[in-house]
Amino acid sequence: MKLTFLGTGTSVGVPTIGCKCKVCTSTDKHDKRLRASVMIESGDTRIVIDCGPDFRAQMLGLEFRKIDAVLLTHIHYDHVGGLDDLRPFCLFGEINIYANKITAEGLKHTMPYCFDENKYPGVPKININVIRPHKSLHVGGLEIIPVEVMHDKMPILGYRIGDLLYITDMKTIDEGEFEYFHGVKTLVVNALRFAPEHHSHQTVADAIAFARKVGAERTFFTHMGHDIGLHKETNKILPDDIKLAFDGQNLEI
C-alpha cells in the first residue's frame, strides 16, 4: 500500500497570502504546503482522504485513473472545497463519498446542484454514503475503520487502514478510541504549530504526546501552519521517529 501526501498545510496553506516570514518566502519546495489531503493506493484501488480546494492542482501531475472512494473527515471548506473537481474522474463512473452524518448533510447544503433530482449535465456524479465510527467498510481489498476525534466541539472522523492511522484537525480524543489503534505502525496526525495553544487543533507538543500514546513506529505531521518553522530546521529538533510530512512525499505502508 502506498500513501502520497497531496497536501500537508493548514486551512490557509503555506505560503500564507501577504506573509513575508522566513517560511512563506522560502524557496525550499518542502515549505510549500497545499491544503491537507492524502491518496492511498493498493493494487488497482485508489482512495483519497479529503478533497480540499487545492485538489485540482494536486492531481494534475498524477496518473489519471479511477478514484474508488473519497473519505471525508469533516465539512470544513479546506477539506471538501474541491469536490466539484472530481468531475473529470466521473468519466470512470460514479464516485463514492464516505462521510459522517454532519458532513453528508452539510454537503447537500453547500453543493445542492449535485443532489437535485434533475441534475444539469456535467455535475459531479457522486454518491454519499453515511458512515459511523467503528463500523468498518471495504473498498477494493482494503478494510477501513472510521474513528472519532474532536475538532473543538465538532465530532470528526479519522481513518484506520491496515497499519496506517490518519487523523487531522484533532484537538482531543476519547480514551475509548485507543482500542482501535493497536498495531498501528504508521501514524499521520495534525500538528498546527509549536505555540500558542489552539482551541481546535493540536500543537506539536500535543501531537508528540498523542504519537507516544499510540505507539506507532513512525509518525508524520500534517495540517501544519507557517509558524511550525522551516521543514529542514524543524525536522532536526523532532524525535527521530517523528517528522514533518511534505507535499508529494510517498510512503510505503
Whether the CB-CB separation of 154 and 167 falls below 8 Å is answered with no
Higher pLDDT, 115 or 250: 250
Percentage of the chain modeled with pLDDT above 70: 100
Predicted pLDDT at 160: 98
Among the residue ranges 1-10, 106-115, 140-149, 167-176, the one predicted with the least confidence is 106-115
Mean pLDDT, rounded, for 186-210: 98
Whether 2 has a pLDDT exceeding 90, the answer reads yes
Predicted pLDDT at 198: 97
Predicted pLDDT at 68: 98
Mean pLDDT, rounded, for 132-158: 98
Whether the CB-CB separation of 24 and 225 falls below 8 Å is answered with no
Q: In angstroms, rounded to a whole number, what is the distance separating the alpha carbons of residues 202 and 152?
A: 10
Predicted pLDDT at 212: 98
The CATH superfamily of 2-241 is: Ribonuclease Z/Hydroxyacylglutathione hydrolase-like (3.60.15.10)
**Summary mean pLDDT of the chain:** 97
With b for 16 or more beta-carbon neighbours within 10 A and e for fewer, the 142-164 pattern comes to bebbbbbbebeebebbbbbbbeb
Which residue is it, cell 501552519? 225
Q: What is the DSSP string of 48-86?
A: EE---TTHHHHHTTS------EEE---S-HHHHTTGGGG
Whether 117 has a pLDDT exceeding 90, the answer reads no
Cα pseudo-dihedral 37, 241, 244, 201, rounded to 10 = 70
Label residue 121 by pLDDT band (50, 70, 90).
Answer: confident
Mean pLDDT, rounded, for 132-149: 97
Q: For the chain, what are the domain ranges?
A: 2-241
Q: In angstroms, rounded to a whole number, what is the distance separating the alpha carbons of residues 28 and 43?
A: 32
Q: What single DSSP character describes residue 235?
A: H
Mean pLDDT, rounded, for 111-132: 91
Cell numbers that stand for 245 in this block: 510530512
Whether 120 has a pLDDT exceeding 90, the answer reads no
Label residue 41 by pLDDT band (50, 70, 90).
Answer: very high
Percentage of the chain modeled with pLDDT above 90: 96
Among the residue ranges 110-124, 192-206, 228-242, the one predicted with the least confidence is 110-124
Whether 181 has a pLDDT exceeding 90, the answer reads yes
- What is the strand order of the sheet 242-244 is part of? 137-139, 142-151, 154-161, 164-166, 186-190, 218-222, 242-244
Label residue 78 by pLDDT band (50, 70, 90).
Answer: very high
Mean pLDDT, rounded, for 54-61: 97
Which residue is it, cell 475509548? 176
At residue 41's C-alpha, the angle toward residues 215 and 50, to 5°, is 75
Taking the CA of residue 150 as centre, how many other CA atoms within 13 Å lie in the half-sphere pointing to its CB? 10
